[in-house]
Amino acid sequence: MEASVLLVSLAIFAQLVAPSLAVPSGNGDGYTINGQVKIQGAQSINLLGKISNVKVILNGGEKVTFVRPDGFFSFHGVPAGTHLIEVAALGYFFSPVRVDISARNPGKVQAALTETRRSLNELVLEPLREEYYYEKREPFSILSLLKSPMGLMVGFMLVAVFLLPKLMENLDPEEMQRAQEQMRSQGVPSLANLLPRN
């Protein structure tokens, strides 16, 4: 007998604690939306501080609530219709949830993630991915230094200083003399020659 009473009381407690989608408010002005935010590994002390700073936003800021330390949240006095629930948590990206509360069939509620279009039986929200706001600094490498514009300029100058004189030594002396004579005959163009005359 005591075991059955214990089971019944546990079942009632589980119904109360379970993250149901929406239940009518006691005072008759709308519904109460209950849900839970779950972040993996939130049992550690560092993440418990993070979960207490998580905001749940209804309809773009119409109503805002914070998540309790156990991860649950509630919105009271929500009218029937279509609503959007968003979760703002630093370092995590959550898919917004579309919640439809039926006015014709009281208690009929449908919820679906907008990113994946997956319907939810219980309003348990988990992050899709972690977000990183800063780029990680790359370690120093010689290759990245050589790929930079300054590295390319220095490399070109080294090639010009060391390889061009060696190339000039390997030229045929007759060809070198012909190239010098051709440059002398053309002369150095002056600025006056380059400007158009009227």
Reported as a single tens digit per residue, the pLDDT across 122-142 is: 888 888 888 777 778 888 888
pLDDT digits (tens, 9 = 90+) for 140-187: 888 888 888 998 898 888 888 888 788 777 777 888 788 788 888 886
CA distances in angstroms from 50 to 36, 75, 127, listed in the order given = 15, 21, 13
CA atoms within 13 A on the CB side of 75: 26
Give the integer Cα–Cα distance in Å for 12 and 18: 10
Backbone φ/ψ region at 11: left (φ over 0), alpha (ψ -120 to 50), beta: alpha
**Per-residue pLDDT at 13:** 41
**Per-residue pLDDT at 16:** 42
Q: What is the mean pLDDT of residues 97-118?
A: 81
* Amino acid identity for residue 163 in this structure: L
**Per-residue pLDDT at 2:** 57
**Per-residue pLDDT at 24:** 53
**Per-residue pLDDT at 18:** 44
In this structure, are residues 120 and 114 in contact, taking their beta carbons and an 8 Å threshold? no
The pTM is what?
Answer: 0.53
If one compares 20 and 40, the residue with the highest pLDDT of the two is 40
Kindly report the average pLDDT of the chain as a whole number. 75
Q: How many residues does the chain have?
A: 198
Structure tokens at 101: 């509360």
